[in-house]
């Protein structure tokens, strides 16, 4: 750890109710949006580990409401799990550490918002799924997350990013980016643009189902990437769902769709070798089995009926978000190379093509496990 980071974490840690003195820390290179550090404190000779993280207020314009959501949800999860008598509670639900002044966040001298969580020990995440067993664990973990929150009124939570999964509005922004072509990138992305325009008939499917009252608004995670499930480092069992910034009112179909996008292909989100990208049916079958086992008590027939479509639609939504960001000059998602967002988009669109080929088998799997 460099001197600047060490001084920064020492100052930040002093603002939170953390036992002991700051000992060491390091930067964690995860996520597209926030800056994250792991830190260790010496609590009378015993190590106490935490996560210090900034909140990107360019993306999350209401950080106070965001942290209110996170506290409300984590406390609800912990109460429900404790009532069920589960063991290792601190490894199964995140715990927010408040500041010494009380709020669950600290604003530093430069105006940046910080929050702190208890570190979840002996777990790991994977950027890409490796086996059907992992896919099952992810489906069950996110399904259980939804199930535990199914009695928490969605209207009591703030909307941290308005219209986050509103595909028609995402599509409209893409059209605007294509029309302006401010960074002169449309020619290089012409094939991806044509693919996106050809999917126009799918764009409003879930928004229309919600408007017709066919599917209810619930408390949902809204960013159910495979790497947001922490797996036990020894057994591989799903322990904890993380990255709760986008927990807000939404459709469970948004969550399941993103699971399909990130947990049915053994390729990274930015895979450049597109011949490797395909929806693997054993992964999908394991995912949907785990998810339906965990959500059977509350999921409605209409929600089950739209599960396969949701995979295609959310993959498309994320794909056009990557494409739009590329056309707009890479302003939102953190990139590590030229055309990084275009590579991400290409991976999503190739996965959609694979879903189209396997749609009948996917529907059969949903029916089998329902």
pLDDT digits (tens, 9 = 90+) for 81-129: 999 999 999 999 999 999 999 999 999 999 999 999 999 999 999 988 9
Confidence of residue 33 (pLDDT cuts 50, 70, 90): low
- Helix runs in 199-334, H state only: 205-211, 252-263, 281-295, 301-305, 307-327
Burial class (CB in 10 A: 0-12, 13-18, 19+), 142: buried
Query: 3-class SS at 320?
Result: helix
Burial of 66 (0-12, 13-18, 19+ CB in 10 A): buried
The pLDDT confidence band at residue 58, using thresholds 50, 70 and 90, is: confident
SS3 222: coil
Instruction: Take residue 185 and report the two structure tokens written for it.
Output: 């990138």
pLDDT digits (tens, 9 = 90+) for 285-338: 999 999 999 999 999 999 999 999 999 999 999 999 999 999 999 988 889 999
Same CATH fold assignment for domains 3-121 and 132-369: no
The CATH number of domain 132-369, selected from 3.90.1200.10, 3.40.50.720, 3.30.420.40, 3.30.70.20: 3.90.1200.10
Q: Of 32 and 165, which is predicted with more confidence?
A: 165
CATH topology of domain 3-121: Phosphorylase Kinase; domain 1 (3.30.200)
Does residue 32 surpass a pLDDT of 60? no
pLDDT for res 2: 84
pLDDT of residue 30: 55
The mean pLDDT of 235-256, rounded to a whole number, is 97
Domain locations along the chain: 3-121, 132-369
Query: Which pair of structure tokens corresponds to residue 177?
Result: 């980016």
Residue among 135, 125, 124, 100 at smallest CA distance from 114 = 100
Stated pTM of the model: 0.92
* pLDDT tens-digit readout, 170-229: 999 999 999 999 999 999 999 999 999 999 999 999 999 999 999 999 999 999 999 999
Q: At what angle do helices 252-263 and 340-369 cross, to 10 degrees?
A: 110
């Amino acid at each position: 750890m460099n001197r600047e980071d060490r001084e920064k974490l020492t100052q930040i840690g002093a603002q939170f109710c953390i036992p002991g003195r700051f000992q060491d820390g390091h930067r964690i290179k995860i996520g597209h949006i926030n800056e994250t550090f792991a830190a260790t404190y010496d609590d009378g000779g015993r190590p106490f580990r935490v996560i210090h993280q900034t909140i990107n207020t360019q993306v999350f314009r209401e950080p106070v409401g965001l942290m209110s959501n996170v506290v409300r949800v984590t406390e609800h999860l912990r109460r429900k799990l404790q009532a069920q008598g589960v063991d290792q509670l601190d490894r199964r639900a995140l715990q927010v550490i408040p500041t010494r002044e009380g709020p669950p966040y600290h604003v530093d001298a430069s105006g940046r918002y910080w929050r702190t969580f208890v570190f979840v020990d002996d777990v790991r995440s994977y950027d890409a799924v490796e086996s059907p067993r992992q896919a099952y664990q992810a489906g069950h973990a996110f399904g259980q997350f939804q199930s535990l929150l199914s009695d928490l009124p969605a209207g009591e939570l703030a909307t941290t990013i308005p219209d986050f999964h509103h595909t028609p509005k995402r599509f409209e922004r893409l059209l605007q980016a294509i029309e302006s072509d401010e960074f002169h990138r449309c020619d290089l992305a012409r094939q991806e643009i044509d693919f996106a325009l050809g999917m126009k008939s799918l764009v409003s499917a879930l928004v229309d189902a919600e408007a017709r009252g066919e599917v209810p608004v619930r408390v949902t995670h809204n960013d159910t990437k495979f790497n947001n499930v922490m797996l036990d480092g020894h057994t591989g069992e799903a322990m904890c769902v993380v990255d709760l910034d986008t927990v807000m009112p939404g459709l469970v179909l948004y969550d399941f769709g993103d699971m399909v996008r990130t947990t049915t292909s053994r390729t990274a989100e930015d895979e450049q070798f597109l011949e490797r990208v395909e929806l693997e049916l054993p992964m999908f079958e394991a995912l949907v089995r785990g998810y339906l086992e965990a959500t059977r008590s509350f999921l409605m027939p209409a929600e089950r009926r739209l599960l396969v479509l949701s995979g295609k639609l959310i993959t498309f939504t994320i794909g056009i978000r990557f494409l739009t960001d590329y056309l707009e000059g890479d302003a939102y998602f953190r990139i590590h190379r030229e055309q990084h967002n275009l590579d991400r988009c290409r991976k999503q669109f190739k996965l959609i093509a694979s879903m189209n080929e396997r749609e009948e088998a996917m529907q059969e799997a949903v029916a089998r496990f329902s």
